[in-house]
Amino acid sequence: MSAVPDHPRDPFGWNVVIALVFAALSLVRLTVPGEPYFDEIHYLPAARAVLELDVAMNVEHPPLAKQVIALGIWLFGDGPFGWRFPSVMFGTLALFASMRAIWFVNRTRLASMLTGLFVGTNFLLFVHARIAMLDVFMVGFLMLALWMLAGAVRENETGRGRLIICGVALGCAMASKWNAIPLAVLPGLAFLAARWKAERRRLLVSRRGWPVAGISLLEAGLWLGLLPLAVYALTFWPFLYWDLEGSDARGLFALHGYMLSLQTQVPEPHPYQSAWWQWIANSRAIWYLYEDVDGAMRGVMLIGNPVTMWFGLIAMSWCGWAAWTQHRRDCAAVLVLYVASLALWVVAPKAVQFYFHYFLPGMFVSAALALGVEQLWERGERLIPWAMILGASACFIYWFPILTAAPLSDGQDFLKWAWFDSWR
């Protein structure tokens, strides 16, 4: 007799619980400090400019993330909660979407829940879910796009609707920050490569075969190519009303030339600047805050969770091996996304770079660790999986005061977390 087919249960409920716990923790001391800190000093005036529609500010970045921050200010007031609550929402979205994407691509409950654990405690997502910066909006939209894409491939009957949402999310990601562009082109290229391999005749119009049956290459190009560009362009509507100081750029193309010139200008060196190989090694921290504020000495440190970032590199290497030898598409996807998101910073003509540019690659390192730990667990291993789970959780608990601007006892307290000189 044939074996009973395996139908793993969807961990949707657990995904919701993990996301809600993350959101609740993100709200701890969300309004501390009560004044703008780190790059909030650039993005909050730009968000207010959206509400005033007078003079454009922070023109070097596309406008959507600043519009979302402006919506938070409009809804909840021009104060710390209004500035940062949209980041909490998009950080939670990024976490939930990453769990759903892994579920659809891997179909393993444990891998999905481990993704929630390792992504939620990797420090990068948590810190950016509590500050009014642009990165968390870009990451939230990208994770939503990957969730929808994976769902379309897994459940072809929902493919068209999911691909439309994916296309909208890709456009919104690019309109939040240009870092998303290398990943935004991948879904369309992947669809093209898959259909090219599967169907050489009637390539453009055939609706048969992987990755999404019922969707032709032409239609996929509409949802994954033209739609993202249209959504991206629509987010520039405030420029119809803004005065653009310092430039006579007219039209969308001229505006982008001006934006690119601002992105590639050479600023003064910054004490926290770093290079991509330091991000991989998790060797250069940024202190978003360390001063006497709101009645106490407080700090916010950005570094990757040591367990997740270091052991995640081993897991990423395993993903490459598994993709090559076992043809595992989940591992191949995580590896390609990691390389694409990191490669941008290897070749980007941006003179001064920072560890927060590793935010997006760090999401995929966390996912790789989840896939690796799940594989060990399925093989009957328990020591290493529990070491990774408890180690990442313990680091998150230990760092929690310095991730949430808790009051510190004195000015030297940072040494508890700054283990190396490069973390100071």
With a cut of 80, say whether residue 260 has pLDDT above it.
yes
With a cut of 70, say whether residue 246 has pLDDT above it.
no
| pLDDT at position 205 | 83
- Name the token pair of 257: 């030339």
With a cut of 70, say whether residue 9 has pLDDT above it.
yes
With a cut of 70, say whether residue 75 has pLDDT above it.
yes
Among 168, 148, 144, 142, CA closest to 212: 148
With a cut of 80, say whether residue 18 has pLDDT above it.
yes
Rounded CA gap, 212 and 29, in Å? 44
Predicted confidence (pLDDT) per residue in 87-119, tens digit: 999 999 999 999 999 999 999 999 999 999 999
With a cut of 80, say whether residue 350 has pLDDT above it.
no
Predicted confidence (pLDDT) per residue in 163-180, tens digit: 999 999 999 999 999 999
* Neighbour count for residue 47 (Cβ, 10 Å): 27
Predicted confidence (pLDDT) per residue in 138-156, tens digit: 999 999 999 999 999 999 9
Predicted confidence (pLDDT) per residue in 216-227, tens digit: 999 999 999 999
Rounded CA gap, 299 and 289, in Å? 5
Q: What percent of the chain has pLDDT over 90?
A: 80
Q: How confident is the model at residue 258 (pLDDT cuts 50, 70, 90)?
A: confident
| pLDDT at position 173 | 98
Pair 228, 184: CB distance under 8 Å: yes
Q: How confident is the model at residue 240 (pLDDT cuts 50, 70, 90)?
A: confident
